[in-house]
Chains A and B, each alone.
Chain A
Amino acid sequence: MADQEEPVATSPEKRAQLDDAGSTALIDDAPLVAELRHAAADAEDEVTGDAPPPLGRWALLIRRAVLIGVLPLFSAWYLIQAITIQLPDRDLLISPRAYPTAIAIAMLAVSLLVSGLELRKVLLGRRGAAAGAGAPTEGTDDDDRERITNWRDAWITLGALVVYVAVFSFLGFFLATTVFLVGVSTFFAPRKWLRNIIVSVVFSILVYLLFTELLAVRLPAGLLGFI
């Protein structure tokens, strides 16, 4: 089933690009999208020089580090933790170590397999590049996968979420949420700042009412607690 006979662009991202190219009537954020696309293209050129690779350099590095190194190391660490679980004084038919140890061994074996496969791919790719032949390069078999094209955006969004969670109790639900929503949406759609602010305020109020009135969940009032 996996091997379809013809390449069909099934990832939403790719399709969206095709659609955009094909359709003339873009509404709403059209100029913005175009502008952002140029900006993104420029940024990518700075990093790589000419043709952008399927994966960014950092993304590729992290991917290899995780697959080759981090997964086996984590599995080994988990195994050590499992076999050193403190046992109670009394005799047990089934040790609390048994089940985690079994998982740990299986996980270590599978992670070494993953690591080996990735390592082989890296080495084959390098040898192919040295020979100048059309050897399999990174990402060729992953073309149907969704790929993050702009890691900066993803990290910034995650960072904003971390800050949001950190100030959630102190600022209170309403303030924290409104600031978070306005911030992130305006980061992605700066020209629509007014719309972003209005929608963010309305949404925060709606969620607050939904949780406190309908679901009886108390959300932190924070700095607005005096009201």
Chain B
Amino acid sequence: MDAINSLLAAFGTVLQPEYLLYAFVGALVGTAVGVLPGLGPSVTMALLLPVVFALGDPTGAIIMFAGIFYGAMYGGSTTSILLSTPGESSSVVTVLDGYRMTKAGRGGAALLSSAVGSFVAGIFATTALVFVAKPLGAIAITFGPSEYVAFAVLALSTAAILGGRPTKAAFSALLGLAIGTVGIHSLSGVTRFSFGVLAIYNGIDFELVTIGMFAIVEVLFVVGMYRSSGQIHGVKMVGKLLMTAREWRRSIGPWLRGSVLGFLVGVLPGAGATMSSYLSYGLERNISKTPEKFGRGKGMIEGLAGPEAANNAAAGGALVPLLTLGIPGSAATAVMIGALQGLGVKTGPLLLRDNPDFVWAIIASLFIGNVMLIILNVPLIRIWVKLLSVPTALLMPMILVISTVGVFSLSRNTVDLALMLLFGFIGLVLRACDIPLAPLILGLVLGPLIEEQSSRALTVSQGDWAVFLSEPTAVVVLVLAALILTLPLWRRIPGRIRERNSRREVLR
């Protein structure tokens, strides 16, 4: 088995103490931040960008990011279960049954089921990645620019549709694309949208938009709600970290179903952990003999085990488009890819062919990260929960300081600091208008890629726009994107008819 050999060789690299340390730091920081309310993996990664660039090692960077990615999800579930304060959107459904179990004195069992489920799913998704990466990579290499553009469009459409506010999310994604056009146009050398500001002739740095729109906006939201919510205190009874034989039996099915479902959803560009956790919850409830007990009374362990497995598996699945196509599917993977590009890694279909050692090292590090997290987290849960007593009044300005110093260390000029503030302000206003910011970051990363690839396609075709519909794969993907984009309209039509009928009845 070719894949297995490559993987074993990669373990040799990753098991070096240096990389183990990166994985450890990533898992530790990720979990810590995941526990803190409001701070998700993308914010954490954005804040750590300066550190990562200073290390200058792409393999180390992605190993650390993988730890953060999984760690943040563990942390988010812990607080969902114990305090019903989900740290991430992907662990919102965990609250439904997890917190009920805690109130019924089964918090320890819920935590264990969540941790083991995440572990099972992480290992499953990574194993699937091992077998899928190479064949998919081989297909990806045959893709031309028009397929590439189609996949990027699919990723953007899916991201736009997910938040529940499709038009606003679509605007956000387009705004991201627009910000991506600032700077010198590589084909013609023309400077666009720079207004004579020298610092942005090479484009607006991805990092400062991310830090401004994620970290700073997040802090402003937390302080803006501080006086009405205050500090979160008081941990409910955790109980012993043990599951009964019956709870084990009830969890195994949801873990496995959640793992498969999560991975498949994660592979789809643009769909991610949050969507998979909702889908898994729905699935478990639908196949349960007692669906009415979900989210009621003492809580159903199935409603927790499934989504917890699904969101971790989705994180693994999301690495498939990232590694084989270079297309990020979520804000977190967008930050990852931005970091890799910043470190000089050429992401895209050729990554696996030209740099297989790097890809296999990532996959191996995911195994390490998963094992490390379960060893780290099960005994440390009580310590993690203590983190919640760090006063918000101090924590929030500290995050602002780290953001500022981070941007300063990346560019060392004050124009970039001013831009960071500007994006913080814009982000605050947009988010207050319920315009989601994650599609914007995705658009910002995908924008230059879309322009470059579509220019390439048009050059080959001598300016004939039909080139985008010349490849069957591209057509299928574009049709899929169009269907996804119009999904809310489809759903609305039956509602409209019903509404009209009921109005008629009222008139009668």
Contacts and interface: CB of A to CB of B under 8 A. Distances in A.
Interface of A: 1-2, 6, 8, 10, 12-13, 15-17, 19-20, 23, 25-30, 33, 36-37, 39-40, 59, 62-63, 66-67, 71, 78, 81-82, 85-88, 92-96, 99-100, 103-104, 106-107, 110-111, 113-114, 117, 142, 145-151, 153-154, 157-158, 160-162, 164-165, 168-169, 173, 177, 180-181, 184-185, 187-189, 192, 196, 199-200, 203-204, 207, 211, 214-217, 219
Interface in B179-236: 181, 185, 187-190, 192-193, 216, 219-221, 223-234
A152 to B, nearest CB: 9
B95 A1 contact: no
A114 B418 contact: no
B87 to A, nearest CB: 8
B361 interface: no
B295 A93 contact: no
A113 B169 CA distance: 12
Contacts of B387: none
B167 A10 contact: no
Interface string B64-101: 00000000000000000001111000001001100000
Contact of A26 (B83, B95, B227, B233): B233
Given A1-B275, A161-B216, A8 B230 contact: no
Nearest to B282: A1
B171 A153 contact: no
B468 to A, nearest CB: 12
A93 B464 CA distance: 10
B458 interface: yes
A189 B175 contact: no
Contact of A219 (B85, B405, B450): B405
Given A36-B230, A158-B220, A211-B405, A107 B85 contact: no
Can you list the 8 inter-chain pairs with the closest CB atoms, starting with the nearest?
A: A148-B224, A154-B224, A188-B393, A33-B230, A1-B278, A189-B393, A184-B397, A215-B54
Contacts of A162: 421
A96 B432 contact: no
Interface of B: 37-38, 50-51, 54, 83-86, 92, 95-96, 164, 167-168, 170-171, 174-175, 177-178, 181, 185, 187-190, 192-193, 216, 219-221, 223-234, 275, 278-279, 282, 295, 389, 391-394, 396-398, 400-402, 404-405, 408-409, 414, 417-418, 420-421, 424-425, 428-430, 432-434, 450-451, 454-455, 458-459, 462-463
B417 A165 contact: yes
A94 B458 CA distance: 8
Contacts of B54: 214-217
B321 to A, nearest CB: 21
Nearest to B457: A94
A93 B459 contact: yes
B221 A10 contact: no
B394 A154 contact: no
A81 B193 contact: yes
A63 B168 CA distance: 13
A188 B230 contact: no
B221 A148 contact: yes
A96 B421 contact: no
Determine chain B's interface SS by DSSP, over half rule: helix
Given A19-B232, A117-B167, A165-B418, 8 more contacts: A15-B85, A27-B389, A36-B227, A88-B188, A96-B190, A107-B175, A110-B174, A114-B168
Contacts of B37: 12
B391 A217 contact: no
B393 A10 contact: no
A226 B192 CA distance: 43
Given A94-B459, A158-B424, A217-B54, A12 B86 contact: yes
A3 B292 CA distance: 16
B455 A94 contact: yes
A203 B389 contact: no
A111 B282 CA distance: 33
A96 B192 CA distance: 8
A157 B219 contact: yes
A131 B349 CA distance: 60
Contacts of B168: 114
A125 B394 CA distance: 41
Contact of A66 (B225, B402, B433): B433
Contact of B181 (A103, A111, A188): A103
Contact of A8 (B295, B430, B462): B295
Contacts of A199: 394
11 contacts: A16-B232, A26-B234, A27-B234, A40-B227, A110-B171, A154-B223, A161-B421, A165-B418, A180-B400, A185-B394, A207-B402
B135 to A, nearest CB: 30
A71 B172 CA distance: 10
